[in-house]
Amino acid sequence: MLVRVLFFSIAAAFLIAVLIAPLFIPILRRLKFGQEIRKEGPKGHQKKAGTPTMGGIIILLALTFTVIKFTNQSVEIFLLLFITLGYGLIGFLDDFIKIVMKRNLGLTAKQKLFGQLVIGAVFYYVLVRNGYDTSISVPGTGWGMDIGWLYFPLVLIMTIGASNAVNLTDGLDGLLAGTSAIAFSAYAVIAWMTSQMNIAIFSAAVVGAVLGFLVFNAHPAKVFMGDTGSLALGGAIAGIAILTKTEILLVIIGGVFVMEALSVIIQVISYKTRKKRVFRMSPLHHHYELGGWSEWRVVVTFWFAGLICASLGVYIEVLS
């Protein structure tokens, strides 16, 4: 029964995204919500300037409608919708300021961090008020411990870290849509194995929504998700990892996102301390582009890496 519901959730979210995207993209184009391309980025990306962005709204609409239709009202669903839509709102404001108000950097780093902290704190407050476990366990082992109040900073680190890591991955046509579909598929399987029906359906709905979006985001992209979509997806995957008690496992399942974030951190530290770059350009996907790989080759390779990470994560969870 649950497998059938998961299938219908994926199908419904996919169809909603595919149906509303052709209506939504022309609106974004008429409103001139076009992507601005960094001058210091790969030269081949300059031709993408003006491609409609903020397409993450398509993903969020498809996801929300599907979740409301197929899940029961529960604290888990409230928390997941709250953190997903909350982070999506931060991304929307960031996109809006960059595109409409012509302020290149959008929200300041402090403004964005403040919003992320507030949403993460509310998420944690509702979590503990409803008696959720504050323990963590090592994947693949029977060892775990209750970390008490330390779970609060862990939640903040996970939500902020995941949203920013996922955001950094959104740099090539179809890259984030594909890798996120793979990662959320892994979490749908994990939630299904642990009989967390609502979380499994939510994860499946994300898969359907991003795959529907991918139809229009694959190379050459007709629309970008922008921070509206990438920050929302990052918040969602962190929320799912917390609710399924796979906090540490997120590092493995989201291995591609972790590598992208680490490449930026390493690059910044190396340049500030040694005045040398480790990578041709960060995030990591640009390093391979500047090395001569085609955009499609980079994307497919990263999808494959994401599939390996997700499969490994599910396998480790099975051992637990």
Are residues 118 and 205 in contact, defined by beta-carbon separation less than 8 angstroms?
Answer: no
Residues near 205 by beta carbon (within 8 Å), at least 6 away in sequence: 9, 10, 12, 13, 62, 63, 66, 67, 70
Classified as helix, coil or strand, 164 is helix
- Please, what are the averages of pLDDT over each run of 10 residues along the chain (320 residues)? 87 98 91 65 63 93 97 94 98 88 75 96 96 89 88 97 96 96 98 95 98 96 94 98 96 97 96 92 93 94 98 92
Q: What is the pLDDT of residue 309?
A: 98
Q: CA–CA separation, 259 vs 245, rounded Å?
A: 22
Identify whether 153 is preceded by a cis peptide bond (ω within 30 of 0): no
Is 217 assigned a ligand-binding role in the annotation? no
Q: What is the pLDDT of residue 42?
A: 63
Q: What long-range pairs does 242-245 form, CB within 8 A, spacing at least 24?
A: 242/123, 242/127, 242/155, 242/158, 243/76, 243/79, 243/80, 243/132, 243/196, 243/199, 244/187, 244/190, 244/191, 244/194, 244/196, 244/199, 245/133, 245/135, 245/136, 245/137
Q: What is the pLDDT of residue 40?
A: 58
The pTM score is 0.94
Q: What is the pLDDT of residue 171?
A: 87
Is 167 assigned a ligand-binding role in the annotation? yes
Classified as helix, coil or strand, 290 is helix
